[in-house]
Structure 1
Amino acid sequence: MAGFDDISKKAQAFLKDGKVQDALKSEKAEGVSDDVLAAVAKAADKATGGKHTDKIEQARQQADKRIGDR
């Protein structure tokens, strides 16, 4: 899972950027982030053959909480 860890670290660094944080605080961004997270979760679930559906959903929820936090 080294590839996933690398992607996760890059995503965390991206989300800490001040400009990204400001953009994420808008209502439009909330809707877009929900759509993106749902699409990523669906793709991950499909890629894993549904073997990790619960973990993927938990990750999606945690990401949504952090992104949607105002």
Structure 2
Amino acid sequence: MSMLDKLKGLLKGHEDTARQGVEKAGDAFDARTGNKYQSQVDEAQRRVNEQLGTDHPPTGDDR
């Protein structure tokens, strides 16, 4: 069993919390770098959410 499979198993039922964590981490990185790498951070967030199965479109105050 791969590390990603184990992580997916741990997140089962907590997809929204995981997505929020990915967004928060990306926002913190953007803040620390002055948004210099914003497009790369957004792409990384999208890919992580895809891999974790949390890639539904953001709602509300999310990006």
- Partner SS, residue 46 of structure 1: helix
Residue 67 (structure 1) shift = 1.0
Normalized per residue, the structure richer in helix is 1
Q: Please, what TM-score do these two structures have when normalized by structure 1?
A: 0.64
Deviation above 3 Å: which 4+ runs of structure 1? none
Question: Please, which runs of 5 or more residues in structure 2 have no aligned partner?
Answer: 55-63
- Partner SS, residue 42 of structure 1: helix
How does 1:46-57 map onto structure 2 within 5 Å?
A: 46-57=31-42
Question: Please, which runs of 5 or more residues in structure 1 have no aligned partner?
Answer: 1-12
Q: Percent identity of the aligned residues? A: 21
Q: For the aligned residues, what is the CA RMSD? A: 1.9
Q: Please, what TM-score do these two structures have when normalized by structure 2?
A: 0.70
Q: How many residue pairs get matched?
A: 53
